[in-house]
Amino acid sequence: MVRLSLSKTLMLVSIGLITISSSSTIAYAGQGSQAVQTTQVAPTADVKDVASIDSIIAALYDVISGPAGKKRDWDRMRSLFATGARLIPTVATSDGGFTARMLTVEDYITRSGDMLEKNGFFEREVARRSESFGRIAQVFSTYESRRTAEDKTPFARGINSIQLMNDGKRWWIVTVFWQGEDAKNPLPPEYLKSKNE
């Protein structure tokens, strides 16, 4: 078991954020084998949360944020993600390298939920760069993390790489893949302002 300091642990839970609709099905086909289908029932989303890329990303940051002692609405979080979705922090390894830790939405809630509610955690988007084609979109969302809403200085910053899909009715988050800023990897100036600024 790896023990982490509170600040390092909070950096791991930063969405610094995968699941499709309540009736979604994803098929996986392997060579020489039949496709295996899995279906996950997700809570019904608030239509305002999933009507646009802006609204679903705002909901993502909002649902994990709150003061110490405040219960988070985890069903709201579940409702944002497509079936099979992943939350993927970039994690330093003991040999000086990095690896990607694959988490389901339930993994994230189980690993991080109690800590977020106990200690307080606020994360907000400070800049964004987006690309889209057809039904898919890719967003680089620069974030800042604080322990209270009043903290002037964030204890962590980084970039969330968020992949999304629109099924013709609403937006879904498919992947949130993130890396926190550190001394060797400071945030470049171009990622501290939105693309069109």
pLDDT tens column, 133-185: 999 999 999 999 999 999 999 999 999 999 999 999 999 999 999 999 999 99
Which among 169, 163, 167, 12 is positioned nearest to 85, based on CA atoms?
Answer: 163
Q: What is the pLDDT of residue 96?
A: 87
Helices (H), the chain: 6-13, 53-64, 74-80, 105-119
> Residue 124: pLDDT band by 50, 70, 90 thresholds?
very high
> Residue 14: pLDDT band by 50, 70, 90 thresholds?
low
Q: What is the pLDDT of residue 10?
A: 45
Give the model confidence (pLDDT) of 48-76 as tens digits.
999 999 999 999 999 999 999 999 999 99
Stretch among 17-21, 39-43, 91-95, 120-124 having the lowest mean pLDDT: 17-21
Calpha distance 174→87 (Å, rounded): 9
Q: What is the pLDDT of residue 41?
A: 72
Q: Is the pLDDT of residue 190 over 90?
A: yes
Domain ranges of the chain: 6-24+39-190
Q: What is the pLDDT of residue 6?
A: 46
CATH topology of domain 6-24+39-190: Nuclear Transport Factor 2; Chain: A, (3.10.450)
